[in-house]
Amino acid sequence: MAFQTTSCVVLLAELLISSFLSYECERLNGYKFPVYSTNFCPRNETEWMERSSKFNCTGEDITYACFPNDDITELIEFCYPLGIIAIPPGLCLFLSKKRSQIEAYDCRTFKDGCPTTPYRGSTIFKSHHQHLQL
Q: Which domain holds residue 89?
A: 25-126
- The answer on pLDDT for 132 being more than 70 is no
- Sequential DSSP letters for 76-95: EEEEES-S--EE-TTEEEEE
In a domain, 62, yes or no: yes
Number of domains in the chain: 1
In a domain, 50, yes or no: yes
- The answer on pLDDT for 8 being more than 50 is no
Q: pLDDT digit string (tens) for 110-127?
A: 888 788 889 888 877 776
In a domain, 8, yes or no: no
- Give bridge partners of residue 92 from the DSSP assignment: 105
- Sequential DSSP letters for 4-64: HHHHHHHHHHHHHHHHHHHHHT-EESSSSS-EEEESB---SHHHHHHHHHHTT--STT-EE
In a domain, 19, yes or no: no
Q: Greater confidence, 7 or 110?
A: 110
Handedness of CA 80, 81, 86, 87 (dihedral sign): negative
Can you give the pTM of this predicted structure? 0.73
At 46 the pLDDT is 93
At 58 the pLDDT is 85
In a domain, 38, yes or no: yes
Asked if residues 121 and 94 have their Cβ atoms less than 8 Å apart, the reply is no
Q: pLDDT digit string (tens) for 36-72?
A: 999 999 989 999 999 999 999 988 899 999 999 999 8
